[in-house]
Homo-oligomer: A and B are copies of this chain.
Amino acid sequence: MPRTKHYFRINMKLSKLVFETTKNAPSGAKIISHILLTRAGFIKQVANGIYTLGMPAQKMALKIENIIRDEMNKIDGQEVKFPVVMPKELWALSGRYYSIGAEMARFKDRADHDMVLGMTHEEAAVHFAMNTISSYQKLPFMIYQIQTKFRDEPRSRGGLIRVREFTMKDAYSFHTSFEDLEKHYYLQHQAYENIFRRIGLKNFISVRSDSGMMGGKIAHEFMLLTPDGEDELVICDHCGYKSNMEVAEAELEIFTPPSNPPTGGKLSNDLPLSEVFTGKHKTIEEVSAFLNVKATDIIKAVVFVEKDGKNPIVVFLRGDLDVNESKLKKVIQKEILPFDASNDETLAFGNIGLIGLPDNISVVYDKSIENRAGMVTGANKPEYHISNFNVGRDIEIKEYVDVAKVKAGQKCKNCSHELKIENGIEIGNIFQLGDKYTKSMGMTVLNEKGEMINPIMGCYGIGVGRAIASIVQDSYDDKGMILPVSVAPWTVHICPIRMDNEKVKEISFEIYNQLNQLGIDTIIDDRETLSPGVKFADADLFGMPIRLVVSPKGIEKDEIEIMIRKTREVIMVKRENLIEQINQLIFAN
């Protein structure tokens, strides 16, 4: 016989909860969610980037997971479960066993087979699908799981923000065409918005993003806007353009050569090239100051090197701009590293210019120098630069590419309004994968015409632990977390003042049991010897939406104090109206 289940409505006495609050932030912690989750005892570090979730954090995780489930199920997701440990063969098929480096944990099993820990599950999804279905009639479908992943991040940091082990919802959709994928991709985008809104996030946006190691072309990241974020986002408030810095573009300023020589005649389209002594002045700032030219009139040279090669790659761009490495990688289709040219014998470090570079150097010209005239560039020999350099006149460039990092104040390429830059934490991502995995792994289905095709895939991820951190990151004050009803471990936090007062104790537990029976998640601070100050501080730190204070004074007037954590508004209500009031507050939140 089925019965009512209250899995997530586990009431709790604080005296028994395995936790410990502390006043001090963990050493080295800078990110607010890391500090507050640790101070409240919600999480405990086991190793670098590896955490145990205490009961409150795990309760939040379960609530978040169930909201995710609900939204995935609404768009016809089928929940499955792929293994954490997979055989090498699966990842060799897709090629990622070789293309992914130290981020992937690998071990040999007792039979000496190479195994990997899943950091994402495209391979497992294709394995399952290709061994199960063979006809287009099953397509489209979307399968998802909520499962542990391990990614050996070089720099885990910030508590649950960047960890090595994490719980993730990852979904995979299969389609007969890109058009069909796009329809589903849009539904996913909506589902993600619903999820983030339902878990209580306010300041989030979706931005165009790089597809990175996933392959594919179109991708979006959902970003929580926060100064603690390690991603830079380029935003146009006017037309709504939003992009991760990695793939952001700005309007290219069209340069019209000055018709008259500027004052002093030093820089002009018509003046001949001339070598100028710049001595020890090497950086854009130094050269700019020494020659009294604007940074925008200097051509900057930035040197990289192929990850597995030796040949330097020189990027030339306008002096006020920086290179966007993500864009550069895409252009040259190679992994690159910054290169320290100061000890390189072939390159005149600090004086690298467009004319007379050694032959073995690859060169990339950014669009920002297209048509530029009257520029300063390096002379490719120590202590000298060249002035009056006209790009069209003094060198022939066949191809310009966009590899510059967008700066705040540049113009939007869509609407020419000013761009701003904000910081964000990635809270979810969606990718149009295409046939990268189905093709490499050999998954085919027969289409309507009886032809073999590789299905088109999309994939969609949300980290559960990072969602917990983001919720805290998005809503806190100087006293602690401010958690929304939908995901707070408990909705109501009862603080009895003076547990030695029998009446206080009796009424407190009466309310606790009543809320319990109504299915309202309630925790009671039944610790006997603590002062009200300590109990209030813990309640504020915990951040449950509604705090009740049961005190001897209140009881005299048959009143209970309600404090709304978010607004810190205090209401005194008669005992008989308490439940109704709480229900109203829950409903309103």
Give the distance to chain B from A438, nearest Cβ to Cβ, in Å: 14
Contact A124 B52 (CB under 8 A): yes
Residues of B within 8 A of A53 (CB): 80-81
Given the known interface contacts A44-B132, A132-B44, the answer about A55 and B83 at a Cβ–Cβ threshold of 8 Å is: no
Contact B102 A80 (CB under 8 A): no
> Which residues of A in the span 110-161 have a Cβ within 8 Å of any Cβ on B?
110-111, 113, 115, 117, 124, 127-129, 131-133, 137-138, 141, 143, 145, 147-148, 150, 152, 154
Give the distance to chain B from A54, nearest Cβ to Cβ, in Å: 6
Given the known interface contacts A105-B115, A152-B109, the answer about A79 and B55 at a Cβ–Cβ threshold of 8 Å is: yes
Contact A154 B110 (CB under 8 A): yes
Contact A85 B117 (CB under 8 A): yes
> Which residues of A in the span 1-35 have a Cβ within 8 Å of any Cβ on B?
1-2, 5-7, 10, 12, 15-20
Q: Does A506 contact B (CB under 8 A)?
A: no
Residues of B within 8 A of A85 (CB): 47, 50, 105, 117, 150, 164-165
Give the distance to chain B from A131, nearest Cβ to Cβ, in Å: 6
Give the distance to chain B from A172, nearest Cβ to Cβ, in Å: 10
Q: List 8 A-B contacts (CB under 8 A).
A: A1-B586, A7-B69, A15-B138, A16-B78, A16-B141, A17-B78, A47-B83, A62-B79
Residues of B within 8 A of A129 (CB): 18
Residues of B within 8 A of A282 (CB): none
Contact B110 A102 (CB under 8 A): yes
Who on chain B is nearest to A8 by CB?
Answer: B69
Given the known interface contacts A78-B55, A85-B165, A115-B105, the answer about A133 and B62 at a Cβ–Cβ threshold of 8 Å is: no
> Which residues of A in the span 61-97 have a Cβ within 8 Å of any Cβ on B?
61-62, 66, 69-70, 73, 76, 78-87, 90
Contact B15 A137 (CB under 8 A): yes
> Which residues of A in the span 430-473 have a Cβ within 8 Å of any Cβ on B?
none
Residues of B within 8 A of A61 (CB): 81
Residues of B within 8 A of A113 (CB): 47
C-beta contact mask, A568-586 vs B, less than 8 Å → 1, else 0? 0000000000000000001
8 Å CB contact of A55 from B46, B80, B133, B485:
B80
**Interface residues of A, dominant DSSP:** mixed
Contact B18 A52 (CB under 8 A): no
Contact A51 B83 (CB under 8 A): yes
Q: Does A107 contact B (CB under 8 A)?
A: yes
| Pairs A-B, 8 closest by C-beta atoms | A107-B107, A102-B110, A55-B78, A47-B87, A53-B81, A7-B69, A50-B83, A10-B73
C-beta contact mask, A161-178 vs B, less than 8 Å → 1, else 0? 000110100000000000
Q: Does A106 contact B (CB under 8 A)?
A: yes
Q: Does A374 contact B (CB under 8 A)?
A: no
Contact A132 B76 (CB under 8 A): no
Q: Does A486 contact B (CB under 8 A)?
A: yes
A59 to B51, alpha carbons, bound, how many Å? 27
Residues of B within 8 A of A48 (CB): 111
Give the distance to chain B from A59, nearest Cβ to Cβ, in Å: 7
Who on chain B is nearest to A485 by CB?
Answer: B2
Contact A148 B44 (CB under 8 A): no
Given the known interface contacts A2-B586, A7-B73, A165-B83, the answer about A12 and B78 at a Cβ–Cβ threshold of 8 Å is: yes
> Which residues of A in the span 548-589 have a Cβ within 8 Å of any Cβ on B?
586-589
Contact A47 B86 (CB under 8 A): yes
Q: Does A226 contact B (CB under 8 A)?
A: no
Q: Does A58 contact B (CB under 8 A)?
A: yes
| Known A52-B124, A148-B148; 11 more pairs at CB < 8 Å | A15-B137, A18-B128, A18-B143, A20-B133, A44-B127, A46-B87, A47-B85, A52-B128, A58-B145, A83-B165, A117-B117
8 Å CB contact of A41 from B54, B102, B132, B154:
B132
8 Å CB contact of A58 from B59, B80, B107, B109:
B80
Given the known interface contacts A10-B73, A141-B18, the answer about A83 and B2 at a Cβ–Cβ threshold of 8 Å is: no
Residues of B within 8 A of A485 (CB): 2
Give the distance to chain B from A109, nearest Cβ to Cβ, in Å: 5
Who on chain B is nearest to A519 by CB?
Answer: B2
Give the distance to chain B from A114, nearest Cβ to Cβ, in Å: 11
8 Å CB contact of A52 from B111, B127, B138:
B127
